[in-house]
Amino acid sequence: MWKLERASVYVDLRITLPTYSRFDDDRNGTTSNSRKAQQLCNLIEQQDPDKLIKLTLDFPSSCNEYIPFLNTEVRIDDEGKIHSRVIEAIKDKRKRQRKRHKTQTSDNTAILKLPYINEATSRKFRDAVKHSELTVKIVEKPGRRLKDLLTDSRPLDKAKCTNKNCRTCESLSPSLDNGDCMSRNTIYKITCTLDNCLETYGGKTYRPLYHRFDEHYRSAANPTAKSYVDKPLAKHYRDKHPKHNGNPQLKLLSL
C-alpha cells in the first residue's frame, strides 16, 4: 500500500492534505470537501496495476458529524481541530469486561503475585497485562512494614489462632497451606466445592485473613441479603446454587 500512496498521496499536487494516516486498510485524511476526498481515493486506486483495490469513502455532512476510524469515531470542527471518541458499543463492552474481571476470576485465570514498588510501576504491569489479553490477574503484596517489626517483641514468631471452631482454619487447604488464619498482607484464593463446582475467587487483604474470609463466608451464606447483593460470592451462590439452604462449602488457599 505504501507504493500506491507514495505515487499519489505524497506527490500529486492536485491534492493537498493537512493530515493523512493509515492503519492496515483504514485511512484517515483531511480534505476541504467530499469531491477532493473522492479524488484522493481515485488517485490511490489508479496506482494499482491489477485494478483490484476499491476504496469506499466516509465523509461527514457537517462539522458536528462523527465518522468511523478503527475503533473510534472522529470529526473536525469549524476551527480545524480533530475530536475523537470511542464507539459506544466498544466502550460498553470494555466496561463489562473490566467489571467481570474485577469481581471474579475463572478457573483459567492465573494470579500473578508481585511486590508493590510504586504506582508508576504498578500501572505499567497492569497496562502490559491489559494489552496482552492474557487471563492474568495481578495482585500486589506489600512487604513487612517497619512499624510491624518495632511494635512486636517477637516479630519472627508466627501468630497462633485463638478462635474456637475457627471456620477459616477449617477451610484452609492443609496440603497447600502457606499461612494460617492470623496472617496479614495475604493473597488468597477461595474455591467453591459445593457439588464439585470448583469456581474460584481471588483477592488480597492487609487485615488478618480470618477477618476477610469471615466476610466472604457470611455473604455466601446469605446471598439474598441486601447488604451482600453485590458481593462476588453472594452472586455466585445466588446464580449457581439458588436452591442451596445450608452452609456454604468453601476451601481457602493462602498464597
187, 62, 171: which is closest to 114 by C-alpha? 187
pLDDT digits (tens, 9 = 90+) for 5-48: 777 776 666 766 767 777 666 777 777 778 888 888 888 888 88
Q: Hey, where are the domains in the chain? A: 2-86, 90-148+165-254
pLDDT band at 192 (very low <50, low <70, confident <90, very high): very high
Q: Output the pTM of the full model.
A: 0.42
- The pLDDT value given to residue 99: 62
**In this predicted structure, which of 97-111, 120-134, 147-161 has the lowest mean pLDDT?**
97-111
pLDDT tens digits, residue range 206-248? Answer: 888 888 999 999 999 999 888 888 899 999 999 999 988 888 9
CA 185 to chain centre: 23
- How confident is the model at residue 83, as a pLDDT? 79
- Which of 78, 83, 75, 77 is CA-nearest to residue 58? 75
Region 100-110: mean pLDDT is 56
> Residue 152: pLDDT band by 50, 70, 90 thresholds?
low
pLDDT for the residue 54? 80
Q: What is the 3-state secondary structure (H, E, C) of 12-29?
A: CCCCCCCCEEEECCEEEE
**3-class secondary structure, 163:** coil
| CA angle centred on 124, ends 120 and 126, rounded to 5° | 115
> What pLDDT does residue 190 have?
92
* 236 close to 94: Cβ distance less than 8 angstroms: no
3-state secondary structure of 180: coil
Torsion angle, CA of 173/178/184/186, rounded to 10 degrees? -80
Residue with the three cell numbers 490511490: 44
